[in-house]
Chain A
Amino acid sequence: MLEIAITVLVAVANIVLGLLVYLNNPKGATNRLLATLALVFAVWTGLNFFSLHAANAKLTLGLIRAVMAVVVFKAPLLFLLVHTYPGNKITLRKMYLTPLVALPVLASVLALTPWVFPHLDPTVPNQIKPVPGPGMLVWAVTFFGVLVAAIGLLVRRFRNSSGLLKSQMGVMLFGFVLSFAFFLFTNFIMVNVFGNPSGVALGPVFTIILVGSIFYSIVRHRLFDVRTLVVRSVAFTMLVAVVGVLYAGVTTVGRLYLFPETDLWGRAVGSTMAAILIAFTFQELRRRIEKITDSIFYKNRYSSEKVLGRLSHIMASTLLLEDLAQLTLREILDQVKMTTAGMVVFSKSGEAWSTGTDAKAAEKLVRKGMMVIFDETEEGEDKETMRQLKLTAVVPLVVKDEVIGGMVLGAKASGDIYSSQDINLIEILAPELAVAVKNALSYREIQMFNVTLQEEVRKATEELRVANEKLRQLDRLKDEFISIASHELRSPAAVVKNYVWEVLNGKARLTSRTRDDLNRAYRANERLEQLVADLLDVSRIESGRIELRPEKFDLGRVVQEVVRDAQQKASEKEMEVKTEIEGGVMVMVDPDKMRQVVGNFVDNAIKFTPNKGRVGVRVRVAERVAQVRVEDSGVGIKKEDMGKLFTKFGRIDTSGTAVGRTPGTGLGLYVCKKLVELAGGKIGVEAGPGGGSMFWFTLPPA
């Protein structure tokens, strides 16, 4: 009874384990190999049982042979499993793969023949003891040879691996040892040493130990996801149930209604049709059922495509580092359902900017440059750090071989380990995120540069302002100086003027020479006074400090006054200043300044005209402007000198002409020009009709 129970249990357990492993990753070589091994074990268990309880000797022998034929495949399967683990593809070279498969096949075939076990030992009727034949050697060599190779490979891989792989290999190795020890004990030691074959029944349990240990070592790796396992199993079960019902239903219906005669032909047709129907609908059914089970069980499932799409969108939507980090991490937290997510970014200056995590600690992990998963790391400083920070994954962000930062993620909210889907998502996301972060960093640098630039501009502007202020001050000081200086200069000039005049007009008798001397002194002093006045004017005009007091007045009247004052000078040269003044020529300007201009023109006219010449002043309205013309019959102005006239210190040499040398400051006309222009008028000179000059200016009418 126990025997049956154990047999059934072991067989079923093997089948279940094998199925589970297969369903989890149907395309993976490791999973397939283990599934196959489990299947082999299951079959073997069953055969073994039946071989022990066969009806007759012939059946017993046949079954024993069958057992040997099946058992031999354990070795190559184990070898391949050890070699392939945990990969998805068999990487063993054809050179080795071929004999690895061919020899056991040969041995298997051999086992079925009388070469291996020719017959049972007749000497022990109550026990089943097969007698080994010559083929047994071949079989044994093949089986044990491959088995030893498998163990050797396992040991070697164990030694050469590290980290998670090493611990997994360790588990496998342990399982191997334990299961074989167990098997050895029950099937050989107990039988041959203790002469008790009853333990043989327990033998098959070792398969569970073996498969179970390999199963366990896979579970600790992300090849395996418990939830996926359950769901896929449910789905598969449903599928099988549906298909079974469908098949049975169709064949039953067919038999009852389409082919009432239950002849072989009818049955065959019916079954075939049902089979065809199943074949067509299988995939569709499977898909539907998986969708249903997914929606029931996987509330936490997400579509990688969708999430990556959304993340791409987020990464393209902002250049601000803070926003980028927050939005991306939030998306991951929500969609992939992690507990925590943080990011650390290294700027050019070496500072680490971080959010959601401790910068310094995370930086160390991130700078390793490789993705680190907690469960897959060996114990050590890094793992301890991760444990402390409660991090499950450290994902560095790398651009062009430079680690610019990293993402650190906590455990999944559901408590599961990261699935393949999660890892894939992260692996695809990391480079894209790295680029986005780099861009955000660059943008930030530009912004900071901008701020720095603005600051520099502000400072420069401030300096300019200060410099400008200083210049303005200097200007003010200069004007003050000129004002004070001119005042100071003019006071003594006034004194000289007055006293010389007094002497000239006084009661004392003067020799003509003395008189001449004094006159020269007087005139020189006048020039000094004029120069100071002109300098003051120029200074004021240039610095824009000239005071203009416009009034509405009759230009002609002012001209009259000036001419009257000038008659004395004119009479000294036996001339008279003639006037032609239109009445009512109204202008809106500063009268004193106009007095100055007209006075300057008239004085010049007199100065540059020899004795007994003519000076005429005309005031009228011409072409809608007020016009003043001062003509003289003087020495005129050469064409090439015309340009000098209204410039600063632009003096004309009249030595050699009828008037001789004409002293002057060279500033008078310049000031006149500025004054007229400030009043809104124009000024100029032409050659006079009578050979002399004609100075004119115009003003806008009032």
Chain B
Amino acid sequence: MAHKSRVLLIDDDEDLLNVYERSLLELGMEVDTASDGDQGLVLARKGGYNLILLDVMMPKVDGLAFLTAIKQMQTESKNGPVVILTSLDRDVIVGEAMKMGAIGCVTKNDVDPGQFAVKVKEFLQMAG
């Protein structure tokens, strides 16, 4: 029996956080949320997440710096890969993030909650 997938969701928009959390929970995943980068890192340090969903455009947090930090704690925390969330379409940030180890991105405006969940599942499968 497959373990329940554990997903870490980090986005500064509380509303989005709420609705995404709900759709993931409905798919039977375990979801932890953080609405800022520091909180996110604290949770990430605990480790064990199959997937980390990260909004790259958060105030007071440099999304790319976050990525680096996550990478650095990889050996201890053993988290899954990072997928970035963005409301700007495929842009410079995305390219940079991909270079820093993100495995994909989801454009928040392009997906409804159903599609969102489907995409997350696909990424989880990719992560193995």
Contacts and interface: CB of A to CB of B under 8 A. Distances in A.
B109 A493 contact: yes
A638 interface: no
B128 interface: no
Contact of A501 (B90, B91, B109, B112): B112
Contacts of B109: 490, 493-494, 497, 529, 533
B88 A487 contact: yes
Give the residue among A495, A529, A547, A592 with the most B Cβ atoms within 10 A.
A495
Interface string A524-554: 0000010001001000000000010100000
A298 interface: no
B92 A547 contact: yes
Interface in B56-103: 57, 87-92, 95
Contacts of A536: 88-89
Interface in A491-522: 491, 493-495, 497-499, 501-502, 505
A487 B57 contact: yes
Q: Is chain B's binding surface mostly helix, strand, loop or mixed?
A: helix
B122 interface: no
7 contacts: A490-B109, A491-B87, A493-B109, A494-B16, A502-B19, A502-B23, A505-B114
Contact of A490 (B20, B108, B113, B116): B108
Contacts of B22: 502
A604 interface: no
Given A491-B16, A549-B95, A498 B90 contact: no
A154 to B, nearest CB: 112
B112 A498 contact: yes
A163 to B, nearest CB: 95
Contacts of B57: 487
Contacts of A439: none
A549 B22 CA distance: 35
Give the residue among A490, A494, A592 with the most B Cβ atoms within 10 A.
A494
B87 A490 contact: yes
Given A487-B57, A490-B109, A549-B95, A495 B89 contact: no
B91 A494 contact: no
Interface in B22-40: 22-23
A491 B20 CA distance: 13
Contact of A486 (B88, B108, B112, B114): B88
A615 to B, nearest CB: 21
A581 to B, nearest CB: 23
Interface in A464-501: 483, 486-487, 490-491, 493-495, 497-499, 501
Contact of B13 (A483, A491, A529): A491
Given A499-B15, A502-B19, A592 B90 contact: yes
A542 B55 CA distance: 28
Nearest to B22: A502
Contacts of B89: 533, 536
Nearest to B87: A490
Nearest to A591: B90
Nearest to A486: B88
B113 A498 contact: yes
A487 B107 CA distance: 12
Contacts of B108: 490-491, 494
A497 B113 CA distance: 8
A487 B87 contact: yes
Contacts of B13: 491, 494-495
B95 A502 contact: no
5 nearest interchain CB pairs?
A490-B87, A494-B108, A498-B19, A495-B15, A501-B112
A442 B91 CA distance: 64
Contact of A547 (B19, B20, B23, B91): B91
Give the residue among B16, B87, B89, B92 with the most A Cβ atoms within 10 A.
B87
Nearest to A498: B19
Contacts of A490: 87-88, 108-109
A493 B16 CA distance: 10
Interface string A582-614: 000000000010000000000000000000000
Given A497-B109, A499-B15, A502-B113, A483 B88 contact: yes
Nearest to A596: B89
A495 B20 CA distance: 10
A572 to B, nearest CB: 14
B88 A499 contact: no
Contacts of A497: 109, 112
A249 B84 CA distance: 135
A595 to B, nearest CB: 9
A302 B9 CA distance: 109
Contacts of B15: 495, 498-499
Contacts of A487: 57, 87-88
A499 B19 contact: yes
Nearest to B20: A498
B82 to A, nearest CB: 20
B98 to A, nearest CB: 11
Contacts of A505: 113-114
Give the residue among A483, A486, A498 with the most B Cβ atoms within 10 A.
A498
A487 B113 CA distance: 19
A661 B90 CA distance: 31
A267 B95 CA distance: 135
A549 B96 CA distance: 13
Nearest to B112: A501
Given A529-B109, A533-B109, A494 B87 contact: yes
B88 A501 contact: no
B20 to A, nearest CB: 7
A536 B109 CA distance: 14
A117 B51 CA distance: 162
A502 B92 CA distance: 31
B113 A501 contact: yes
Given A490-B87, A490-B108, 10 more contacts: A483-B88, A486-B88, A494-B108, A494-B109, A497-B112, A498-B116, A501-B113, A502-B23, A529-B109, A536-B88
Contacts of B16: 491, 494-495, 498
Contacts of A547: 91-92, 95
Contacts of A501: 112-114
A42 B104 CA distance: 136
A568 to B, nearest CB: 10
B68 to A, nearest CB: 22
A498 to B, nearest CB: 4
A505 B23 CA distance: 11
Contacts of B92: 547
A529 B109 CA distance: 7
A176 B60 CA distance: 120
B19 to A, nearest CB: 4
